[in-house]
């Protein structure tokens, strides 16, 4: 297949991807393209999420469940130590009684304290802003878990089996949300975002914060949004509405 025709097919796919799933509700496939083989992640992109908590309710755990399946995280029924890349946090304003529920995962900070404290260089930020643990050199000291103000990282306490090919994980290493880097590199969007869209709520959108024409950037330029603990100045790539 030539370069031109594969690009045309991709564009065609993107148009077909805009499917009306219910009257008045349109699901738009992400315009993102797979990065060509052999090319590195680039600082021209900064991947992020916009989460509208008004569309998210306390009973729904679609994103959490999808993450566990996608990343091959076993449910050992030991909540204190089970690996968790994303969790639902229910909050209530004690003055007004207003409640809401928000998914919280690694916020992919532009100035990540987990990277600052890591003694080995395992905790790292990729050029496109995705914060990862290089488990090849992680010594399991857990400094990063202590440093992360969002409680975003987990530690694998036990020997693991049946790992997913795209998410190698093992005992003695720290791990966290990768923003589904394996999907992003292939031109897709994170599993949680997809699962949320499948419920019809579509509370999360994924995109490139550096691309002024992306859906996420267009919405952020027009609508108010906030970041959790913005006062810390870590410049997270996860934005919220409704909190």
Partner 1 sequence: MGMRVVMLALLLVLMPWQGARAAEAGPQFPKAQGQCVEDAGTMRRHHFDFLKHQRDDTMREGIRGAKHSLKDCVSCHAAHKDGKAVPVNAPGQFCAACHDYAAVSVGCFTCHATTPGEGKP
Q: Interaction with partner 1 in 181-210: which residues (CB under 8 A)?
A: 181, 185-186
**x/- letters, 127..166, toward partner 1 (CB under 8 A):** xx---x-xxx----------------------xx-xxxxx
- Tell me the angle at which helices 191-198 and 62-71 cross, rounded to the nearest 10 degrees: 140
Could you tell me the end-to-end alpha-carbon distance of the chain, in angstroms, rounded to an integer? Answer: 48
17 binds, among partner 1, ligand SF4, none (CB under 5 to 8 A by kind): none
Number of Cβ atoms within 10 Å of the Cβ of 104: 17
From the centroid of its chain, how far is CA 175?
13
Q: Interaction with ligand SF4 in 106-145: which residues (CB under 6 A)?
A: 106-109, 112-114, 117-120, 122-123, 131, 133, 138-144
The span from the CA of 240 to the CA of 148, in Å, is 19
Instruction: Please identify, using beta-carbon distances, which residue of 31 and 141 lies nearer to ligand SF4.
Output: 141
Q: Interaction with ligand SF4 in 179-208: which residues (CB under 6 A)?
A: none
Q: Where are the beta strands (DSSP E) in the chain?
A: 19-22, 25-27, 47-52, 86-92, 99-105, 123-125, 131-133, 154-155, 174-175, 204-208, 238-241
Contact window for partner 1 (CB under 8 A) among 60-68, 88-96, 100-108, 122-130: 122-130
Q: Interaction with partner 1 in 15-34: which residues (CB under 8 A)?
A: none
CA atoms within 13 A on the CB side of 74: 15
Instruction: Please identify, using beta-carbon distances, which residue of 8 and 111 lies nearer to ligand SF4.
Output: 111
CB of 228 to ligand SF4, least distance (A): 9
DSSP type of residue 36: P
Instruction: Please identify, using beta-carbon distances, which residue of 41 and 117 lies nearer to ligand SF4.
Output: 117
Sign of CA dihedral 25, 31, 37, 41: negative
Binding site for partner 1 (CB under 8 A): 35-41, 124, 126-128, 132, 134-136, 159-160, 162-166, 168-171, 173, 181, 185-186
Binding site for ligand SF4 (CB under 6 A): 106-109, 112-114, 117-120, 122-123, 131, 133, 138-144, 148, 150, 152-153, 174, 176, 234
């Amino acid at each position: 297949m030539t370069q031109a025709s594969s690009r045309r097919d991709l564009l065609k796919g993107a148009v077909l991807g805009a499917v009306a799933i219910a009257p008045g509700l349109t699901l738009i496939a992400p315009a993102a393209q797979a990065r060509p083989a052999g090319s590195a992640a680039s600082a021209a992109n900064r991947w992020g999420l916009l989460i509208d908590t008004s569309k998210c309710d306390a009973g729904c755990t679609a994103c959490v469940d999808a993450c566990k399946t996608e990343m091959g995280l076993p449910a050992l029924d030991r909540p204190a130590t089970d690996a968790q890349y994303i969790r639902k946090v229910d909050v209530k304003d004690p003055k007004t009684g207003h409640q809401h529920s928000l998914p919280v995962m690694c916020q992919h900070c532009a100035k990540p304290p987990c990277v600052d404290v890591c003694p080995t260089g395992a905790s790292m930020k990729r050029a496109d802003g995705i914060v990862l643990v290089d488990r090849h050199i992680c010594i399991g000291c857990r400094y990063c878990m202590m440093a992360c103000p969002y409680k975003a990282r987990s530690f694998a306490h036990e020997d693991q089996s049946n790992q997913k090919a795209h998410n190698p994980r093992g005992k003695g290493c720290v791990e966290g949300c990768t923003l589904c880097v394996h999907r992003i590199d292939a031109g897709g969007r994170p599993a949680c975002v997809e699962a949320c869209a499948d419920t019809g709520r579509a509370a999360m959108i994924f995109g490139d914060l550096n691309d002024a024409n992306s859906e996420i950037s267009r919405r952020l330029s027009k609508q108010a949004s906030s970041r959790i603990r913005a006062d810390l100045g870590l410049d997270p790539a996860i934005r919220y509405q409704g909190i």
